Amino acid sequence: MPIVYEQLMALKNLGQKYSYSDRDVMLYAYGIGLGADPMDENELAFVNEGVLTPRPLKVVPTFASVAAWGAGPGEMNLNRVMVVDGERDITFHKPFATAAHITADSTVLDVFDKGKDKGAVIRHQTVLKDEKGDKLATLVASRFARGDGGFGGPSDGQPEPHKVPERAPDKVVDITTRPDQALIYRLCGDRNPLHSDPAFAKKAGFPRPILHGMCTYGITCRGVLQTYADYDPTAFKQHVARFSSPVFPGETVTMELWKDGNVVSFEAKVKSRGVTVIKSGKTVLA
């Protein structure tokens, strides 16, 4: 079915109920690679609650992306085979508890028509709230529906991507992914077979399963945590990234970071293949 602009813009789904436990918090942290070094106390704080030396379990800021996995404004009737993630922009209002009951309010923000052969861009928002109704995080997702353009909607008005500085990066960090990382990350909610089934990945045009884009997004959060945030999740006010190419599990992701005031700009590359996997990255720190 072609997109009906008015119907898509009217989609909303309010008061969706979710809950999570400390197990989910630790699984997400492990899924984006924290704890690979079992002696790194900074990373262990996100994957281990501490016993002999008690310490509070920390929650990775981008856990917000899976805390209410499946929340959305409703069925969009898109050609799913042709839909890819374009961007994630999460604003953090309040630190996440290690376990909680939460609600999610989802609405469509914009629908842009790129043309019949160029697809459509859909931006939708999910606001996560705690039991008191206080905002925890606002998630804005951008989907690129490659097979759904030409419906007569607006083509102008898309937000401009963040521009990273032109100078040499202030820091460069290499983050290694595990060959089985997609199999772990999928347990956080996204069981798309593209990330786990070799035959499905080949049918989709890849030589083997690829890493979830949102896992790469979490990896970029790790990069900022370990460089400019001193492993303090409460330092994050916003984390934005655009997806430009997939990562294959087992590859090393190289992050280039620039800091200007409280804004950290970043891009991520896989040097072994000469590709940029994340563009226009921005983290706003407290």
- Show which residues are catalytic: 190, 195
- What DSSP element (H or E) covers 242? strand 236-243
User: Would you give the DSSP letter of residue 234?
Assistant: G
DSSP 247-275: --TTPEEEEEEEEETTEEEEEEEETTTTE
Residue whose entry in the numeric block shows the structure tokens 């109920």: 17
Apex 22 CA angle, 285 and 14, nearest 5: 70
User: Would you give the DSSP letter of residue 167?
Assistant: S
Which tokens sit at 71? 């929340």
Closest alpha carbon to 227 in 175, 164, 279, 165: 175
Distance of CA 182 to the CA centre of its chain: 14
